Structure 1
């Protein structure tokens, strides 16, 4: 097994990053990855204008991120298996021809963004459309279609996704603070697994 993080020419890559060998990453030179990240086999990532994946992030198998726009995924966020994220789109109104085989000016693709804030999690087989901001602490239920921004610390579900409840902000932020105290040095630098002291029992 080869960890692709060691061989890809990523713009930036942190410590303890595992990119499984059957993941496919296009334009790695525009992709930055933080510390303690796992990208599973069969993930497809096409870096657009800018792609930033934070620290303590997991991207599940069979997930794809495409569209040519900006993608930002902040710390402690996660994508379950089979998630589809689109940062760009076609003109469905018939004003031009569509699909990547057609050159400009016959095809005019729209480039946008998707921004996933800290502690957000997206359930299996959900679809996130361009121009969406998923707020801090949001949970998206499986098989949901997200067309609009999601308010922080709220659970969404459905097609289209609608708010169905709240998430426990205080507890999660408390756990994050403890983790940062344990896994970062006094200067805010992440301590790799290989450099950590074993806990004393």
Structure 2
């Protein structure tokens, strides 16, 4: 296999010395990811972060649980806090924002402008256990995606969503209930670890 176009993943030894606030085992992070505020990032066990993803926690924090996958080209802006609970996952190109500008024109925008001239909305983004978010979706500040929520591709999530629903659209709306059979698989997986 040619390594010409494959940047690969950091080794566990590389990651142990990188400066994460907390780092579990069996963590794989692609070498072409961007990580800012590494001291404010916690990562559990069995986590994979694919290429060209960006995690920003210069202020705030990012907490990633166990058995979490972050697909390529994802963007996590954790200035007001982002939590990805166990068994959650982001498909390619998902963007999670815990802080965003006011687009109304009533105030100035962008991070180079002093805060007193902006009117940013900020608040934590929390993904419960078994939440999956489809490719190209955007999650805005102050959103809790309760356990088992599934978000279809290209969805705009601007409010909290109830557990075990499948949502899609701009903005997100309930399509139908999600099957909970995966909880049996989780029980078997965890039983095998003991």
Q: Structure 1 residues 177, 68: closer, same or farther in 2, change over 3 A?
A: same
- Aligned residue pairs, count: 183
Normalised by the size of structure 1, how large is the TM-score? 0.86
Structure 1, residues 40-93: CA drift from partner, whole Å, max 9, x if none?
010001114221100000000001011511100000000000011110112334
From 76, 79, 86, the equivalent of 1:68 is: 79
1:114/1:132 contact within 8 Å kept? yes
Normalised by the size of structure 2, how large is the TM-score?
0.89
Q: Deviations over 1:131-188 (max 9, x none)?
A: 111111111000111111111111001111111111112x2111111111112x3xxx
Deviates more, 1:11-20 or 1:94-103: 94-103
Stretches of structure 1 that go unaligned for 5 or more consecutive residues are 186-201
Q: Distance in 2 between matches of 1:57 and 1:165?
A: 24
1:149 lines up with 2:167 in the alignment: no
Q: Once superposed, which parts of structure 1, at least 4 consecutive aligned residues long, lie more than 6 Å away? A: none
Contact map agreement 1:113 1:132 (CA 8 A) in 2:
yes
Q: Does 88-97 or 42-51 show the bigger shift?
A: 88-97
SS of equivalent residue, structure 1 residue 156: strand
Which range moved further: 9-18 or 83-92? 83-92
Gap regions ≥5 residues in structure 2: 1-7
The reply to whether residue 39 of structure 1 matches residue 46 of structure 2 is no
CA RMSD of aligned residues (A): 1.5
User: Which residue does the alignment assign to 2:148?
Assistant: 137
Q: Distance in 2 between matches of 1:98 and 1:166?
A: 38
